[in-house]
Every structure is written in structure tokens, then in C-alpha cells.
Structure 1
Amino acid sequence: MRNNLEICLSADELDKLASNIHIAFTCGASRVELCSAMHLDGLTPSIAAIKVARENMPHDGDLLVMIRPISNLFEVDRALLSTMLEQIESAAKLGATGVVFGAISHGKLDIKTTRTLVKHAQKYHLSVTFHRAFDCIENWQDALNLFIELGISRVLTNGTKWLSNTSVIQNIQHLKTLINFADNRIEVVIGGGVTCSNAAKLWQIATHNNNQVSLHVHSAVYKQDGYLDPLAVRTLAEIIGKRMNDNTSTALFLGIDGGGTKCKVRLENAQGKLLAEAISGPANIATSIEVAQKSIIAATHTVLSKANLPTTAISSIVACAGLAGANIKSAMLVMRDWQHPFAELSLTTDIDIACQGAHFNEPGAVIILGTGFCAGAKKSNKCIDFGGYGLLLSDGASGGWLGLNLFRYALEVTDGLLPISPLINALLAQINCTSSSDITQIALKAKPAYFASFAPLVFSMPDDPYAKSLLQYAAKFITRYVDHLVSMGYPRVSLIGGTAVKITPWLTAQTQQYLSKAKSTPEQGAIQLAKHNHKIL
């Protein structure tokens, strides 16, 4: 039985690394983090060390690689960022399953650098751990919310300020607060002072509400000769392994929400108990069926790992996938021929699972505001949809539309047709462009997900004239669909997706009176459909 035990392995002595990998996994670890120079709190391991680790890993073992080129207080300049990006690519090519990094600036999360690093890791389907740089951040709640938004898999913390020399046990109350705030949206890895003597007390935190919590150990499992202590590893594995005993005894159901930017999955047992959630790359089958399939598999492997289940458990999963682009018949026909690894896989639209999640089996409508835009409604198991024809033909008010039209304004500004504004200045600085030809070169072949990445910039500067123009237009666009759905007999409309909450205040009071909070997520809606199709409900 695998469990949530993560061991930090020293990569400095290659002759001992192979043996330590073997001890870690045979004695109960579920993953290892590979670091060099532990006396400097961990730096990027050598290529040779990563190769040795990968060659000695079990097939379904997770190998996380530290990405920290130099010893500093986690501040990342342009040159260091370039090196970290190269190291992430190298780790992926050498067989790592995840990377560990962090970036702060003057006690605050370095959002731009973090976003860049995460996107690069996701390009190679690597999971991401934000390391103990997290313990340097003053506003940890905002940081944690951003990690979740970006799709970071886990955060490493011991609940105390970095370099405070405070015991992890002394601040256990803060750990409880942090884990409750995370609320199963991200895995919390407790590390820094975890020992065989305090592990049981720390693990009690994890037993509440099936929280996604792991223990991370280093010095507590090492002997003086540089080898792991098998007894110590087994002791820790036994302490935290008891909680996992029911995970493989029930059927598994997977809800898949495949969008233009990310694929979100949720794993439950037959009783509806949440086992884990995960996020991977884009899964719009109208854009790329191959990429969508890879994203679905990557997210499934991640969610199984989080649930402490082997990758072979995928063959026992009953899944339902609601996919962006599923309204395109040619794409859906090809997708239905997929030789997938699941026990069962039913396919439907993203609108269908969103309606099911938002309103259960009651009549209701949804408007999805993510990378793309679509709207739909469901009544008596019959689903109708509108929009969703892609950024070129529709998708007004989507994240992609906001970003694309921001670029259009920027082109007119650089051509001298419109005056400059703070928003345009911020965009030009972010994409490092000074002319319309520079902008065109970047944007000409860009995909909707790229443009959607600039929607947060628009929302961050609502008083800017161009932001105001875009958001007012988007609100009017949404209002047309709300009015249409209400006129069709659907007085309850739920707005969901990445921009839904931020665009709502721009709608009129009259429009907002028709809005209804979704009862659950699209992934939960997909699970309901999976169970129904499996004749469980």
C-alpha cells in the first residue's frame, strides 16, 4: 500500500543514491525529492544524479527534482529564471515526474516568475511543488489561492517562518488553519523537522475530512553513514499508512472537465468520498485531440498518485469526460474511437457536466466563462448549447476574447491610432514588445489559451479606459445570453469558469437577479453522469 510519505534524498553521493532509492520505495515511500547540497537547504541535483535516480525507481514511483540553481533567499532574477527553465526541461527529459521550486520578492510571492515556471513545467506534464519559500510569504492565503489557480500540485511548509528555528510541533495550530484553508484544493506537504516521534501527532491533522496532506522527511531517516535507515522509513510509513486502507476496496469514479487551458479531474469512490483532485494541460478536442488525450491521462496519473493508488488502478476507473469542443461532430467521432485505458469512459460536452453539477437533475442553465465561452441548459436529461464555436467565430466575454482584444488595442496604440494607457504599458512590458510588428510576431499564431493568460491583467486594472471598454462589452455579451436563457424558461443561470466571479460585478442588478450559485463543480457533475451511466445511481 502506497501512502503520503515523501523522502528528500541527497544527490551528492551517487554510489549511495541507488541504494537509498531502493530503501525508500521498498520500505513504504510513495515519492522522493532529489536535492543536492542539503547543507544549503537543497539545490538542483546533477544530471548524473537524476539519471541514477530514474534508473533505480519503480515503474510507478514519483521522482521530484529540486530546481534551485543557487543558495539565496529564493529571489529570482532574469538570468536565474533562464537557468531554472533550462533545468526544468532537463529534468523532464531525464524522466522526472515533478519539479520543486519557489520564487519570492521582498517577502511577497513573485507572481510573474512563478507563473512562468509553472507554465514551463506543465508544458512537460510535470507536477509542481512550491517549496518552503512559501514560509517566507506574508499573505499566504492569496499565495495559496494563486497556486490552486495555476494548477500547482502541492506546497511544502512546516507552518513556521523560514529560518525561525521554531519546531513544526510548536506551530501545529497554524498548520491546521492552513490545511483547512486549502480544503482539499491542493496537497499540503508538511516538512522541516518531521521525525518518527512527532509524525503521529502531525498525521492526525491529515485524518480530518480526508485532507490531501503528506509528510516530507530528510534527516530523520538518514544514518550517519549516508544511507537511509530502513527501520525509520518503515516506522513513518506505518504511522501514516493506516489512513489509506479503504482506498482500494471500493469502485473508482472519475469526473473529467476538459477545457481550453486545463483539464481538471476529481476521483471518488462509490460512496461519493473524495479521494483526490488534479489538474493538467489543455483538453479541447476541437483544438487537438492528441493533446486532449495526453492531458486526460496525465491528470489521471496525478490524481491516482495523490490518492495513493498505483497507476494500474486506471483500468478500474469508471470515467465521464465533459470536453470543450465536443459539440464539433468530427472531433467527437474521432474521440469516440480512442483506445483509452479506463474500465469505462463516457463522453459528453462541457456544458452537459456543468449543468449537471450546477443544478443536479433539476432544470437549469449555465454560462461557461473560461478560455472560451459557451452557454447551455438542461431539462429532463436533454441538453442544449449555444456558442462555443471558437475564438474566431464566437467566444465573446471569454478569457481568450479579453486577451485577444487587449492585443488589438495594443496594436492600435503602437500604430499611433489610440493613446497609451497603464494597461497597455503593462501588457507591452509583460510581452517585451515595443512595436506593432513585435506584437504581431508573438500573436499571429498564438492559441486562445495564450490570449486567455492576459485576462487577469485586464481585471487587475478595471479603471483603465481599455479595460473598462472590454469588461463593459463582455458584460453586455453575457447579458444577451442570460436574457435568452430566461426567455426559454430557465430562470436559474449559473456562471462558472475562470472569469465568472470577476465579471459578475460588471453585470446589471437586473441580470444578476437571475444568477444562481452552482451546487457543485463540473467535475462532480461528470461523476454523477459516470455513476448514472454505470447504473449506480
Structure 2
Amino acid sequence: MRSLARCCARNERRRHDCKEYRRAVVTYYLGIDAGGSHCRCRLVDSDRQVIGQGESGPANARIGVEALKATLMFACNQAIAQAGLSEGDVARIDAGFGIAGIGRPGIKEQLAQLDFPFRSVRYETDAFIANLGAHQGADGAILVIGTGSIAHVRVDGRSFSIGGYGFPISDEGSGAALGLSAMRHALRALDGRTKPTPLSAAVTGRFDHDTTLAVAWMDQATPRDYASFAPLVMDYADAGDSIARSIVEDAALHVERFIEAVFERGAPRCALAGGLSHRMRPWLRQKTVERLVEPLGDPLDGALLLAGSP
């Protein structure tokens, strides 16, 4: 009996030691998709099993690198806590961050100066990781239509973006662009320059149909604020509202031109992504839709590939 007890005890110690050893050598991978509306995080182990997730608010580089770091770490800490990782575990995390707006001069250099608690951190744009995830690292293109809009192309060792210069000078076909057009049309209807429609009434209704209140809102409005009108525009367009339909039809033309451009630049395939992509797709011509492929993965898959996840 004593011999059996000693044998069981040894086996238990071995199992414990093996578990501790595996925990000591495992690498964790963390992917971040930081966009203009929200920031999402996914944490996986060496077997690519999801062990933690997190989410926080807008994380465009425009907010400043210190504020950006706080937003990123808020989401990361949620995932780390959910996974139950220790401080030592966190030091074995390889991270891949896809961040909107980091193509601006000096931003990557500023980010490189930040002190993250991870073993390694790699930075790219949110469009880059979306493309990487959509085609699982293979050549291809993606058009992201969300708060903003941007196309990203990977072909023959080259990687480049089309559009995405920032609202309001760019971001054609995006949620922010839809919202801006809705505001313009609604204010024209309010002062009698165009015929009011249910959409224009719904938009100005948010400001008690008072132009001065709308102008005061515009003084502080962000792209995300404008994009908050996008679902309203799409709903009224689907219902046949004339102003809403004209706004969405114009946006669809911009989306189609994006798609034409990526194929002209050599992309072998193109996928759509972003919160507005599914609602915009029915407004595209059939011949355009037939050229599109379904994404093989999402932007967080791309961020994990960027981090080095197998």
C-alpha cells in the first residue's frame, strides 16, 4: 500500500512538473484591431486556442499615442484577465497591433517609444491586418467599409493602400460619409432648398429641427458621430426614401470604383470587410459582386498572423 501511495505521489508530481514546464515555455499571441469606432482584442495560446478577449472604444491614432496606449491596454488587460495569465505569462506574449491612422508621419516612431509589457509588438494599419486575415497571408485585396473606408492590396511582395486619407477629405462610401451627406440634405430640406423626406425629418429631429443646434453639434462631431447616422440612412434607403436612396447610390459608386482600382493594381482577388460592408453589398452591381470573394478570416486573425501566430 505504501509503495502504491509513493508511486501515485511521484506521478502526481510529474504531472504537475510537466504542466508547469509547458506553462513556462508556451508562447501567447495577442491580436488587436484598433479602428475609428472601437478596439477589439483576441488572445490565443501556442495551439491558437482563444483564451481571452477584450474590447474598448475608438483607437484611431488621431487621439494621440498616450491616449491610444491607454485604449489598447484597456482591451488587452480584459483579455489577459480572462485568460488568467500571470505577469510572467504576459512577458511571453507576442502582439500584433493593427491601428487606424498610423500611416501618418511620425506615428509609428512615436509608438515605438511606448513601453508595452509584451515580449514583442508589431504595428501595422488596420487595413493591413484585415487583408492579412481575409486571405490568410496570401496575395489579395480588401476593401474595408466602416466608420471610414480604405482598400489594401498585397501582391507580388508589394503592400499598399488606396484611399483612407481621413474624413472628410476621403473615406468615400463609408459610414461617416453617409452621415455627412444625410446632414447636408437634411439641413437643405429644413431651410426649404430641397423637399423634406422621412430621412431628413429623422435627422433634424435629433436636433429638435433647430439649425443652430445642428451647427453646434457639427462643431464637435467626430467621424464616429457622423457614422452613427449610417444605419438610419440605410434603413430609409431600403424603404424607398428618395434622399436616402440618392446618398446610398452615390456611396455604392465610390465602393465600385474602389473595387475596380484594386483589380487594376494587380490584386488577384478582393473581399469586403467592415461594419457597413454587408449593408452596402446589395447596392452594388451584380457584375461587381461576382468579382468578390468571401474573407477566409477576420482582422483579428490577421493581427495574430502579424504577431507571429502559426
TM-score, length-normalised on structure 2? 0.87
2:304 counterpart of 1:503:
no
- Shift in Å, 1:302: 1.1
Greater helix fraction, Structure 1 or Structure 2: 2
Mean CA deviation greater in 409-418 or 502-511: 409-418
Percent pairwise identity? 31
Distance, in Å, in 1 between the alignment partners of 2:23 and 2:196 is: 59
2:55 counterpart of 1:276:
no
Higher relative contact order, structure no. (Cα contacts within 8 Å, ≥ 6 residues apart)? 2
Q: Which amino acid aligns with 1:516?
A: V
Q: Which amino acid aligns with 2:262?
A: L
- Shift in Å, 1:453: 1.4
Q: 2:37 aligns with which of 239, 261, 280?
A: 261
Gaps of 5+ in 2: 1-18
2:143–2:270 contact (8 Å) kept in structure 1: yes
Distance, in Å, in 2 between the alignment partners of 1:332 and 1:468 is: 40
SS in 1 for 2:58: coil
Distance, in Å, in 1 between the alignment partners of 2:63 and 2:249 is: 29
Partner in structure 1 of residue 217 of structure 2: 442
Distance, in Å, in 2 between the alignment partners of 1:265 and 1:380 is: 30
Distance, in Å, in 2 between the alignment partners of 1:330 and 1:499 is: 30
Q: Which amino acid aligns with 2:284?
A: L
Partner in structure 2 of residue 493 of structure 1: 270
SS in 2 for 1:474: helix
Q: 1:294 aligns with which of 59, 65, 70?
A: 70
Q: 1:524 aligns with which of 293, 296, 301?
A: 301
Matches within 5 A, 1:115-194: none
Partner in structure 2 of residue 474 of structure 1: 251
Distance, in Å, in 1 between the alignment partners of 2:294 and 2:229 is: 26
Partner in structure 2 of residue 408 of structure 1: 184
Distance, in Å, in 1 between the alignment partners of 2:222 and 2:265 is: 33
- Shift in Å, 1:248: 5.2
SS in 1 for 2:44: strand
- Shift in Å, 1:427: 2.0
2:107 counterpart of 1:316:
no
Q: Do the aligned partners of residues 341 and 380 (structure 1) sit closer, same or farther apart at CA in structure 2, a change above 3 Å counting?
A: farther
- Shift in Å, 1:443: 1.3
Distance, in Å, in 2 between the alignment partners of 1:309 and 1:342 is: 12
2:160 counterpart of 1:384:
yes
- Shift in Å, 1:270: 1.2
- Shift in Å, 1:380: 4.3
- Shift in Å, 1:316: 2.9
Distance, in Å, in 1 between the alignment partners of 2:274 and 2:99 is: 14
Between the two proteins, the alignment pairs up a number of residues equal to 288
1:258–1:292 contact (8 Å) kept in structure 2: no
Partner in structure 1 of residue 290 of structure 2: 513
Q: Do the aligned partners of residues 289 and 415 (structure 1) sit closer, same or farther apart at CA in structure 2, a change above 3 Å counting?
A: farther
SS in 2 for 1:282: coil
Distance, in Å, in 2 between the alignment partners of 1:465 and 1:327 is: 38
Partner in structure 2 of residue 349 of structure 1: 125
2:130 counterpart of 1:329:
no
SS in 2 for 1:385: strand
Q: Which amino acid aligns with 1:510?
A: K
2:60–2:99 contact (8 Å) kept in structure 1: yes
2:187–2:204 contact (8 Å) kept in structure 1: no
Distance, in Å, in 1 between the alignment partners of 2:203 and 2:90 is: 42
Q: CA RMSD in A?
A: 2.0
2:217 counterpart of 1:457:
no
Distance, in Å, in 2 between the alignment partners of 1:289 and 1:413 is: 41
Q: Do the aligned partners of residues 274 and 380 (structure 1) sit closer, same or farther apart at CA in structure 2, a change above 3 Å counting?
A: farther
- Shift in Å, 1:310: 5.0
SS in 2 for 1:345: strand
